[in-house]
A and B are shown apart, each in its own frame.
Chain A
């Protein structure tokens, strides 16, 4: 296969344009406004088996009100990316380099005071397993009110009122009674709703949802997704939506990032990316989804395994599994480039 012509002078950074944000996020966003910009983020873990380069030069940006999806196989660095944004990486992990600009302010290396003002207030996060993510010995009401009182100087009564309102808003019936209950009295779906209520407590500008439905039943999954979709629209809240599920991304996200081995293999407006998947990995992922409009879109595992992140590969990380690899692939790691406006891909074919 011939080497695709290198387009000299192309900006190598995946300069994602918020083509969708304007139409989806209402008047608050403009085409050039950016809420969060992640630049060349590198996060690694020092483990017994060596240095795990979990996130290895990730760049993307999210506009106000925009819903951005990250997809990729297990272990490709989705959660580490999310945790790095909020500065929640703990030893043995560390952010080695890069910037996380939230409204222009760099959160990498920011003081703990700054991070605390942002966490839960400007950027909130929900997790994969809602039941273990809630404290088992504290009531739901306490946990929501705590989130409110941490960032807002209002009285306990007012906080309670707001907590009640939040529970109703996320569709928890008998909210008054639920406020006094403990997490173990909630089903998984109800617990995730409570987590969402807690995350929304301070009307964050960005919600990071790390596989919020993976642990739930299929029918409940759909309800939670619909809820997130509705709330994001109502509040003009941007969402960074992490999932394994290609179908969910296709249906809900304005922009899609496909991650592989700590890097973004392909990114672009969801419609473009699904209409013309460029990266062999994206193509393989889509080929693994039995039926994009059907009921289940979870990835069927691809053949082969993701690379060992402790070994620094010289060439393309996908090369061992790639059907379209050629002589250049094992030698040189492709740089991301815009194959078409706003659609970046990291592959020597383009």
Chain B
């Protein structure tokens, strides 16, 4: 088990280092100079200013040296300073990270609960052979999965924000009122938009897992023991169906990280995704590097936890590793 942990840890570290090098190199390979973008016409008329700023951010050094310098800072807990914003990368990311986490966590809860619920209901419809309802639910799922999230965002905005006027459509809170309820109301539409695709995808996975398990030999054994339908379902079927559920809730995280960029943009949510888009447009290297590093770390940590949790659910994996 220790060997497994060490191997996994090493692999995770490689992913983070490799990913950060890739981002670092790509930023410097694409056209567009951050200092000139920032200074605009001022930079054209005043090359000396450009040179000063370039030196100030170390952009005149060779890329590998810049990278090592960045890593050196990182080890001391410093992500550097933003080129465009008058603040450090750490300060820039802190609030936005919290906002994104709030949005992502809410969406994750909605997707897991909703997706599991939809999957269980769909599996029961198959089990009870209620074909019409099953087709209707499957069809609805397909529609919801294939709808592009910007269309969904717009539809939700128009229905619930404009026509019904129930929910706010922009930002995190109102200017005048910033109570908890107000914040929650702002959270609903972006979180639902973000949760929709992963939720319905999870629903299909859960449905398939439960349907398979119900037809399995061990479910038949459980019935042959005299167990009730409910007990067969809760004790024997659901636990087996948990394995794919957990795998996929882990994978969903990737979807949230990328999905949040668009959703934050659409709903003017002041999170990391929006920060990343703006930083890329402005070629604000330190901010892009900081945010992508965080994403890489979150990604590997989540995958690691998911891997560990399989073993808790499925003894076959636990023992294969031991």
Which A residues form the contact surface with B (CB < 8 A)? 86, 88, 91, 112, 115-121, 124-125, 127, 129, 132-138, 146-147, 150-151, 182, 184-185, 195, 198
Cβ–Cβ contact A119 & B220, under 8 A: no
Would you mind naming 27 contact pairs between A and B with Cβ atoms under 8 Å apart? Answer: A88-B223, A117-B226, A118-B226, A120-B225, A124-B224, A125-B224, A127-B217, A127-B221, A129-B217, A132-B216, A132-B217, A133-B220, A133-B221, A135-B218, A135-B221, A135-B222, A135-B236, A135-B240, A136-B240, A137-B239, A137-B240, A146-B225, A147-B226, A182-B315, A185-B319, A195-B221, A198-B225
- In the assembled complex, how far is the CB of residue B274 from the closest CB belonging to chain A, in whole angstroms? 42
Residue of B nearest to A124 (CB): B224
Q: Which residues of A contact B228 (CB under 8 A)?
A: 116
Nearest first, the 4 A-B pairs at minimum CB distance are A120-B226, A119-B226, A120-B225, A132-B217
Decide if B314 is an interface residue (CB 8 Å cutoff). yes
Cβ–Cβ contact A88 & B240, under 8 A: no
In the complex, what distance in Å separates the CA atom of A112 from the CA atom of B228?
9
Q: Which residues of B contact A121 (CB under 8 A)?
A: 226
Which B residues form the contact surface with A (CB < 8 A)? 129, 216-218, 220-229, 235-236, 239-240, 313-316, 319
Q: Which residues of A contact B240 (CB under 8 A)?
A: 135-137
Cβ–Cβ contact B225 & A132, under 8 A: no
In the complex, what distance in Å separates the CA atom of A118 from the CA atom of B223?
11
Cβ–Cβ contact A151 & B226, under 8 A: yes
- In the assembled complex, how far is the CB of residue B322 from the closest CB belonging to chain A, in whole angstroms? 11
Cβ–Cβ contact B226 & A134, under 8 A: no
Determine which of B216, B224, B315 lies in contact with A120 in the assembled complex, contact meaning CB atoms within 8 Å: B224
Cβ–Cβ contact B218 & A134, under 8 A: yes
In the complex, what distance in Å separates the CA atom of A136 from the CA atom of B235?
12
Q: Which residues of A contact B316 (CB under 8 A)?
A: 136, 182, 184
Cβ–Cβ contact A133 & B225, under 8 A: no
- In the assembled complex, how far is the CB of residue B190 from the closest CB belonging to chain A, in whole angstroms? 37
Cβ–Cβ contact B315 & A184, under 8 A: yes
Chain B: interface secondary structure?
helix
A138 touching B236 in the complex, CB below 8 Å, given contacts A129-B217, A133-B217, A184-B315: yes
Determine which of A88, A136, A151 lies in contact with B218 in the assembled complex, contact meaning CB atoms within 8 Å: A136
In the complex, what distance in Å separates the CA atom of A115 from the CA atom of B235?
20
Q: Which residues of A contact B225 (CB under 8 A)?
A: 119-120, 124, 146-147, 150, 198
- In the assembled complex, how far is the CB of residue B59 from the closest CB belonging to chain A, in whole angstroms? 55
Q: Which residues of A contact B239 (CB under 8 A)?
A: 137-138
In the complex, what distance in Å separates the CA atom of A198 from the CA atom of B235?
17
- In the assembled complex, how far is the CB of residue B212 from the closest CB belonging to chain A, in whole angstroms? 12
In the complex, what distance in Å separates the CA atom of A194 from the CA atom of B235?
19
Residue of B nearest to A118 (CB): B226
Q: Which residues of B contact A119 (CB under 8 A)?
A: 223-226
Additional A-B contacts beyond A116-B227, A124-B225, A133-B220 (11; CB < 8 A): A86-B224, A88-B224, A116-B226, A120-B226, A133-B217, A133-B218, A136-B240, A136-B316, A147-B225, A182-B316, A185-B319
Q: Which residues of B contact A127 (CB under 8 A)?
A: 217, 220-221
Residue of B nearest to A182 (CB): B315
Residue of B nearest to A208 (CB): B224
Cβ–Cβ contact B223 & A182, under 8 A: no
In the complex, what distance in Å separates the CA atom of A124 from the CA atom of B220?
12
Q: Which residues of A contact B313 (CB under 8 A)?
A: 137
Cβ–Cβ contact A137 & B315, under 8 A: yes
Q: Which residues of A contact B227 (CB under 8 A)?
A: 116, 120, 146, 150
- In the assembled complex, how far is the CB of residue B211 from the closest CB belonging to chain A, in whole angstroms? 13
Cβ–Cβ contact A88 & B220, under 8 A: yes
A136 touching B315 in the complex, CB below 8 Å, given contacts A116-B226, A120-B225, A150-B227: yes
A132 touching B315 in the complex, CB below 8 Å, given contacts A116-B226, A119-B223, A138-B239: no
Residue of A nearest to B222 (CB): A135
Cβ–Cβ contact A91 & B129, under 8 A: yes
Cβ–Cβ contact A132 & B224, under 8 A: no
- In the assembled complex, how far is the CB of residue B131 from the closest CB belonging to chain A, in whole angstroms? 11
Q: Which residues of A contact B226 (CB under 8 A)?
A: 115-121, 147, 150-151
Q: Which residues of B contact A146 (CB under 8 A)?
A: 225, 227, 235
Query: Could you say which of B216, B218, B236, B240 has the most chain A C-beta atoms within 10 Å of its C-beta?
Result: B218
In the complex, what distance in Å separates the CA atom of A151 from the CA atom of B224?
12
Q: Which residues of A contact B235 (CB under 8 A)?
A: 138, 146
Query: Could you say which of A115, A124, A129, A136 has the most chain B C-beta atoms within 10 Å of its C-beta?
Result: A136
Determine which of A88, A125, A182 lies in contact with B319 in the assembled complex, contact meaning CB atoms within 8 Å: A182
In the complex, what distance in Å separates the CA atom of A85 from the CA atom of B315?
34
Determine which of B222, B224, B314 lies in contact with A136 in the assembled complex, contact meaning CB atoms within 8 Å: B314
Residue of A nearest to B220 (CB): A88
Query: Could you say which of B218, B221, B315, B316 has the most chain A C-beta atoms within 10 Å of its C-beta?
Result: B221
In the complex, what distance in Å separates the CA atom of A125 from the CA atom of B217?
12
In the complex, what distance in Å separates the CA atom of A138 from the CA atom of B216?
15
Residue of A nearest to B240 (CB): A137
In the complex, what distance in Å separates the CA atom of A136 from the CA atom of B243?
12
In the complex, what distance in Å separates the CA atom of A326 from the CA atom of B149?
73
In the complex, what distance in Å separates the CA atom of A91 from the CA atom of B216?
14
A137 touching B314 in the complex, CB below 8 Å, given contacts A121-B226, A185-B319: yes
